[in-house]
Amino acid sequence: MTERKPPGVTFESWVDKQIRTAQERGDFDDLPGAGKPLPGAGAPLDDQWWVKDYIRREGISGDALLPTPLQLRKEIERLPEAVHDLTTEQAVRDVAADLNRRIVDHLRTPTGPQVAIGPVNVDDVVSAWRAGRPAPTQRPAAEPDEPAPPKARWWQRFRR
């Protein structure tokens, strides 16, 4: 379709001619999905069909479309599961502190529906994390057989 529409020819007849000549050349042969029905053909369309199709196509979670307070509430509910696999207490505290920072940011400038949310207690999250972990096995401290000799001072190293 690099050529221009000639003057005096209706647009519809010019496009029809372009399509017909492309079919005759075989430009539409062996296209992917040839001979298959169109996806969703005959199904009623939702008002938000394009959003649902985008979410499905991009593999995005539907939670991304929720307003901020509802997203934060879901994160608060999922926090114990989110920190369950973390290995250190500091990592658990960091995740909870980041969530609290975002909650406080929302509370300072609220948007969306009014949903009651508040910061989480970091110590409660850490104690629940500890309760869900197996108790660490304590090894008895190895007793040294012989005390290590004291290190020589730096100036004494040169005297030898």
The domain tally of the chain equals 1
Range of the domain at 123: 66-131
Does any domain span residue 121?
yes
Residues 94 and 127 sit within 8 Å (Cβ to Cβ): no
pTM of the model: 0.55
Chain centre to alpha carbon of residue 120? 22
Burial class of residue 96 in the structure, from the number of CB atoms within 10 Å of its CB (0-12 exposed, 13-18 middle, 19+ buried) = buried
Does any domain span residue 116?
yes
At 49 the pLDDT is 82
Chain centre to alpha carbon of residue 56? 15
Amino acid at 55: I
Does any domain span residue 140?
no
At 137 the pLDDT is 67
Q: How far apart are CA 62 and CA 65, in angstroms?
A: 6
Does any domain span residue 54?
no
Does any domain span residue 78?
yes
- Per-residue tens of pLDDT for the chain, all 160 residues: 557 777 777 767 778 888 888 989 988 888 888 888 887 777 787 888 888 888 888 988 878 888 999 999 999 999 999 999 999 999 999 999 999 999 999 999 988 888 899 999 999 999 999 998 877 666 666 666 777 777 777 666 666 5
Does any domain span residue 40?
no
Does any domain span residue 152?
no
Does any domain span residue 45?
no
